[in-house]
Amino acid sequence: MGTRLSNKTALVTGATSNIGRAIAVAFAAEGAHVVVSGRSKERGAEVVERIRAAGGRADFVAVELDGTARTSEALADEATRVLGGRIDILVNNAGIYPGSTTTDTDEATFDRVYAVNVKAPFFLTAAVAPAMVKAGGGTIINLGSWVARLGIPVGALYSSTKGAVETLTKAWAAEFGPAGVRVNAISPGVVHTPVPDAAHPGDVMMKGTPAGASGTPDAVAHAAVYLASDESAFVHGTVLDVDGGRVGVAVIAA
């Protein structure tokens, strides 16, 4: 067990799988008491058990984030109660990816994706940040995406929501930073847990990068620990690319 987040409390949304699960596990391994939030009680219980088996502290809070202020506020209230009265770190990770093109997207899908990916973190931040300010400080980490800044021919809806999240990150850093709440974002590249002898459909999009392959959820979790810890005390309003160089670098093969 590490101590970089010792005596801290954290709420991680979408923490029952992939990146969110890795962040929750990493936070707990560094001493934080973590609320694992998500839709599936079964998967949530598995994450909590994994953390506790390693000597960490975690509890599960079930929620179906629907973009309403009511639901986000209820999650903030319950997480605050479970964590003993305060949330030091909020990770806005929950999101959905329809993977459709613009002409294939209906209005119901549009509204649902914006509700989960933008409205839910907006109102959750609105519910949590004032208490952080009152407590003297806190940290908010949002999950963006490389497709917010490098266009691809599918997923326009999803990429626009991540663009909104990255813009909100900078706006919230300006709004809450002077009161002691640091707000930053992580922009992952294609990230998934490798399966032996199985190709992932996103792997092709990481060709031509310095990394040359997709990343793992742990790579994002390491970045989240840094942004949540005092090591990044002078970091505000930053979007940290953890994307194998996808956005910033082009490798020209000989």
Q: What is the pLDDT of residues 127-180, one digit of tens each?
A: 999 999 999 999 999 999 999 999 999 999 999 999 999 999 999 999 999 999
Indicate if the alpha-carbon torsion angle 162, 236, 71, 48 is positive or negative: positive
User: What CATH number was assigned to the domain covering residues 9-242?
Assistant: 3.40.50.720
The answer to whether residues 89 and 11 touch, using CB atoms and an 8 Å cutoff, is yes
Tally Cβ neighbours within 10 Å of residue 109: 14
Specify the 3-state DSSP secondary structure of 240.
Answer: strand
Q: What is the pLDDT of residue 129?
A: 98
User: Is 90 exceeded by the pLDDT of residue 253?
Assistant: no
Which residues, in sequence order, are CB contacts of 227 under 8 Å at separation 6+?
139, 141, 182, 184, 186, 235, 240
Query: What is the rounded average pLDDT for all residues in the chain?
Result: 96
- CA atoms lying within 13 Å on the CB side of residue 34: 37
The pTM score is 0.97
pLDDT digits (tens, 9 = 90+) for 67-111: 999 999 999 999 999 999 999 999 999 999 998 899 999 999 999
Read off φ and ψ for residue 241, nearest 5 degrees: -80, 120
pLDDT digits (tens, 9 = 90+) for 43-62: 999 999 999 999 999 999 99
d(CA 92, CA 125): 8
Catalytic residue ranges? 158
d(CA 157, CA 109): 9
- Of the chain, the percentage scoring pLDDT greater than 90 comes to 91
Specify the 3-state DSSP secondary structure of 201.
Answer: coil
d(CA 156, CA 50): 36
d(CA 68, CA 53): 35
The answer to whether residues 14 and 94 touch, using CB atoms and an 8 Å cutoff, is yes
Average pLDDT over residues 11-38: 98
And the tokens for 1? 């067990």
What's the full length of the chain, in residues? Answer: 254
pLDDT digits (tens, 9 = 90+) for 211-249: 999 999 999 999 999 999 999 999 999 999 999 999 999
